[in-house]
A and B are shown apart, each in its own frame.
Chain A
């Protein structure tokens, strides 16, 4: 039972990386990027190939980030420069990437037990060698997600980050600031897809395998996690507890948590819901059906966007 909870937590943390990506495109840019379903296995494919060729496990991370960036640039460029609608631009990238992924790593690729992953690499073993594999997975995924969260929070406070937030909020203002809104969107898509490919990379390290179909439903997963997280936090922000925190200067941050924190919580909660459904005897083949149904439920309960319900 405890193991199951920890492994669900690990899953929730790793998949939070997808949710970060979706948070940028969907929540900040208002761009539902279906390319995620192709970028996620792309990150895993490149990782599986590099690992089986004996490349250092840690090098797969920047490589995945790089290929993810390229995929995001592609979606962004066809949307902005060729004026393809956002949903269609994502679908084109997703479809194209399916073949690209098959070319890179075939339909399935397993990483054998002797190959070091980031969870068994010498540096990690030196630091956390006395832990179980699951313990190490928890620590590393926690550190990774925390690092990405902090970096994103810092980025959103930079000029570039603020412009990114502005383009989703009021694109006309970005034009009035004499900046090309298209370039800002492309930048956002690149960052988002970099994170999604990184998620694919870590999942590949976790599972020691890649499959061409592992991307199906990942956008839905990310969306659900983002909407659950943000709705939960909106609810929390309206509570007396959060108001009490906000009224004290030193505790203010507790009363108004960052969107990225909400996303992590949403991801863990969503994985937990799926895990509960599976523990109740649902066959694993039904997982995507459950994912979709849960997402539908989340959409209905949260009032579609997860934001309006609080204001209404």
Chain B
């Protein structure tokens, strides 16, 4: 269980551009829940993910996993139990390393990076199998540098790398936003598959309302640091895209857009 308790986040404190995004914001995410978060730009979706991952500091409050505070843990320490896929397909892999080297790095997460050989030949078949399951024809490109692959291919490999070793939380930050509709669909289906298979607790920020309704167990809509809509279980099942769109329009009208 992931709990966010009374967090306060102020951008540019003490300056003329000071902006308080979160003022004692709280949220609880149940184990194994797939939470889809929607909302306009600046509503605090990505900041929320950054706070969970420890990428940005908070001014107050606490982040808890199973009742234990992780607020004082460094970002890299938190990633021991987390995986993250970014909007930018280049963010999840090393462009100048080959796909095999990238996968080998991901495969070794949680272990020591010592002086043994980085690429374990015995694992190559496993990597091939994993790549084959993506259905993008990547299994023959193990020796190709990551930077030579397309955005969609890189994003698929990023997802594979982020979830290769045992983990509990998957953080998805608009991870389909930079992809063409067809590739986005493929990545979304892969995401759903891995979340269900590995029983992950996932938090996905998206601008695609259909993805949010279709794949999320729970849909959150955020606006200026507040949750303005929170549907889960039966309630979520009865929520259509139109309902969410209507809510979205209301917020936008209030904002004067």
Contacts and interface: CB of A to CB of B under 8 A. Distances in A.
Contacts, number: 77
B245 interface: no
Contact of B109 (A160, A165, A178, A180): A178
Given A162-B118, A166-B97, A173-B93, A178 B113 contact: no
Nearest to A181: B76
B76 A175 contact: yes
Given A169-B97, A173-B93, A159 B76 contact: no
Contacts of B80: 178
A160 B113 CA distance: 5
Given A178-B77, A180-B74, A160 B115 contact: yes
Interface in B82-97: 83-84, 86, 90-97
B181 to A, nearest CB: 27
B126 to A, nearest CB: 17
A160 B105 contact: no
A175 B75 contact: yes
A179 interface: yes
B113 A169 contact: no
Interface string A142-176: 00000000000001011111110110011011111
A127 interface: no
B116 interface: yes
Contacts of A123: none
A158 B119 CA distance: 8
B118 A158 contact: yes
A178 B92 contact: no
A169 B84 CA distance: 18
A16 to B, nearest CB: 22
Contacts of B86: 172
B101 interface: yes
Given A159-B118, A172-B91, A179 B97 contact: no
A155 B117 CA distance: 9
Contacts of B83: 176
A177 interface: yes
A175 B79 contact: yes
B105 A158 contact: no
A159 B116 contact: yes
A169 B91 CA distance: 10
A180 B54 CA distance: 13
B17 interface: no
B170 to A, nearest CB: 12
B112 interface: yes
A165 B119 contact: no
Interface of A: 155, 157-163, 165-166, 169-170, 172-181
Given A159-B115, A170-B91, 7 more contacts: A158-B114, A162-B113, A169-B96, A173-B105, A174-B76, A176-B84, A178-B79
Interface of B: 74-77, 79-80, 83-84, 86, 90-97, 101, 104-106, 108-110, 112-119, 162
23 contacts: A158-B114, A158-B117, A158-B118, A159-B118, A160-B115, A162-B104, A162-B105, A163-B113, A165-B97, A166-B94, A166-B97, A166-B105, A169-B96, A170-B90, A170-B93, A170-B94, A175-B75, A176-B79, A176-B92, A176-B162, A177-B105, A178-B80, A180-B76
